[in-house]
Amino acid sequence: MPSHSLEKKPPDNYHITVLDDPTLITGKHKTIIALPYFMSSIIQYSRPSDLKKELNEQFRQLHPDLDPSLTLTQIRKVKKNIYIAAQEMNLELSSVAKAYVYFERLILKKEVNKNNRKLIGATCLFLATKVNDPKEVSYSDLLRVLSKIMEVSPKEIRENEFNVFVALEFVLYVPLWDIRPHFERLITSSEFPKVDMSEYIGDKMFYYN
């Protein structure tokens, strides 16, 4: 019996800026100004440890209901490692964006904490690649790369796959309006800034029509 996990579902309350908003002021030291296709910042010198602490304090104030062991800098590190693993495997950026949506939705569902964040992040990319990447992918190689970068074993990822699927309420479909903002961020911060997004979406992204 089909699971219908890739069928279109009604929109939920998820939005890219709910957890990781680039317009946040990082302490008293850095203000990020975001405009369409342009981002600038004003920085006063401060120790990185102070900036990190203040940013995480702001995040905790904005999200007091999330697991207190989880910080914004931990979330961003997991997302960075998802991207690094995908680059090493030559995966589509759309698969990375989809993994980000899975990961952030699970955080909002309070399924993620400091101890399991790497495992859940790795599993999200594994699932996203399975349902989205149009190229032939060696899943054993992907598990090996994820194990190296995320410091979790392939066995743990395999065993956690169904748990993440359940936590996502058996919904792997992600609407384009949730994918697009993540994809735009990836394009502007990756080594492929000249990729034509409309052409990329039209040719390569699955399940978004």
Q: What is the DSSP string of 100-113?
A: HHHHHHHHHTT---
Q: Which residues are CB-contacts of 199 (< 8 A; sequence separation ≥ 6)?
A: none
| Beta carbons of 114 and 74 less than 8 angstroms apart | yes
Which pLDDT tens digit goes with each residue over 111-120?
999 999 999 9
pTM for this model (two decimals):
0.79
At residue 38, does pLDDT exceed 90?
no
Instruction: Please write the tens of the pLDDT for every residue from 68-83.
Output: 999 999 999 999 999 9
Domains detected in the chain: 19-64 (no CATH), 71-204 (1.10.472.10)
pLDDT per position as a tens digit, 176-189:
889 988 988 888 77
What DSSP assignment string belongs to 138-203? -HHHHHHHHHHHH---HHHHHHHHHHHHHHTTT-----HHHHHHHHHHHHHHSS-TT--HHHHHHH
Question: Mean pLDDT for the chain?
Answer: 82
